[in-house]
Amino acid sequence: MSLSRSPSPVLGGGWASPGLNLPSSGRSSPSKGHPGSNGTPVMWESARMKNTGASGYPSFSTQNQGFLSKHMRKISSSLPRFNANQYVEKDKALGGRWSAKNVPLLGRLKGILARMGRKMKIRLLMVLLFILAMIIFFNSPLIYYWRRISWLGGGEKFVIILAANVGGGVMEWKGAREWAIERDSVKNKKKYAARWGYNLEIIDMSTKKRYAHEWRESWEKVDFIRTSFRKYPKAEWVWWLDLNTFVMEPSYSLQDHIFNQLGKTTYRDINEYNPLNITHPVTDNYLDEASKSPVGDGNPNSINMLLSQDCSGFNLGSFFVRRSTWTDRLLDVWWDPVAYEQKHMEWEHKEQDALEQLYIAQPWIRKHTAFLPQRKVNSFPTGACGDHGYDPRFHYNSRDRDFLVNMAGCEWGRDCWGEMYNFRELSYYLNRNPWERFKEDLVAVIWFKLTGQKVKL
């Protein structure tokens, strides 16, 4: 449809669009002289408002004109208004019923996890799995087998021999105290051996005629050491312990305490401490250089026997023997029945005096024997070797956390059970874990101050 045929939307002619009728636009109404038209161009409403001197508001007026506009404003102003602070104060007045404190713990954890990134979740999961693995590892038999394997912990290389039931049933009847000493000593060694994966051999030292021609008490140590080497073919060292001994520091392994630094923890020249006044070294011309040297060949790997010395000489309440050809020869000579028959009435300390005699008379024994400071593996209570009071060379010191205490000679005028009980309680006190320290040093003390009653948690 052409424009010439389109009727004007305005009565009287002309177009409603002012742009079509303005002379400046180049356009005009298709019918200038349409009948009924006065020839006046039609302008936009906005232009008309400007020309008529309106107040400058846009064409959509927001002035309060008209009935509905005025009354809608009155109605809206009379409605209640929302105030956020009012609800916060009300929430506090109601005790925080809708606060985050009342959100369940599971909900809080879900919220925290939801806000975490993927990488953070993976890291957290790995940490939790590691902690769980450590808990399972250290609270299961896995740690025992880990510490036993020779190329890991190396526990199977050590055998602990504990002499039990000494003289039982023949020398004297065992009473409640004797049974209590044996029970505590055996329990202590079992716990220590299980912790580090060591082999434990508890032997019966009751006095009886094991051999056809003699009683031979105390010399049985030699026989039991030989038997243990046969029973445990992977064992490298045998550790002999008397019954009246107690491991005070179960957290010390033999490897870390002694054998990983054997050259530093031992001395081979007996002149460093020589209560027996043994002439050392031997200087006979027929001997080799290692036998004439005060320290043997100086190689820690050639040490085959470890023992300590107390105030009177060698002490065999705690000593070590290594599997070797040298050890087999030593055990044969030490067990020699001829020497036993000739000297057992003269040797007051029996197998201990026999070993001292062999050390003095046989140079080949000296060059493979080393000594440990007594407090390293064989501390004494103050009553033993106590003629001159406390001696730092022999006597146990809790500040230095000595490894083992040997209540040697307690049956001669001292209270064996009293000493065993005191050292057992002291060991427990020194080796408490943080939770036990918290209960006993804080909770129990507060309870005692409040109630006046002692409680053992």
Provide the pLDDT confidence category of residue 417 given band limits of 50, 70 and 90: very high
How much is the pLDDT for 33? 45
Quote the distance between the C-alpha of residue 408 and its chain's center: 34
Length of the chain: 457
Inter-residue contact 245 to 317 (CB < 8 Å): yes
What is the rounded average pLDDT of the residues 414-423? 94
**Residue 366 and residue 290: Cα distance in Å, rounded?**
10
User: Which tops the pLDDT comparison, 175 or 377?
Assistant: 377
From residue 194, how far is each of 27, 50, 237, 253, 428 by CA, in Å? 111, 104, 17, 11, 17
Inter-residue contact 349 to 378 (CB < 8 Å): no
Inter-residue contact 354 to 221 (CB < 8 Å): no
Contacts of 251-256 spanning 24+ positions with Cβ under 8 A: 251/431, 252/403, 253/196, 254/158, 254/196, 254/198, 255/153, 255/154
- From the list 372, 355, 356, 363, the residue with the least C-alpha distance to 296 is 363
Inter-residue contact 444 to 204 (CB < 8 Å): no
Lowest mean pLDDT among 44-58, 293-307, 373-387: 44-58
Quote the distance between the C-alpha of residue 54 and its chain's center: 89
> What's the whole-model pTM score?
0.70
- The Cα angle at residue 210 between residues 209 and 213, in degrees rounded to 5: 70
Q: Is 378 helix (H, G, I), strand (E, B) or coil?
A: coil
Edge to edge, what strands does the sheet with 313-322 contain? 199-204, 158-164, 237-241, 313-322, 305-310, 369-371
CB atoms within 10 A of CB 23: 8
Lowest mean pLDDT among 66-70, 182-186, 375-379: 66-70
What is the rounded average pLDDT of the residues 341-348? 70
User: Which tops the pLDDT comparison, 81 or 33?
Assistant: 81
**Residue 360 and residue 371: Cα distance in Å, rounded?**
15
User: Which tops the pLDDT comparison, 30 or 203?
Assistant: 203
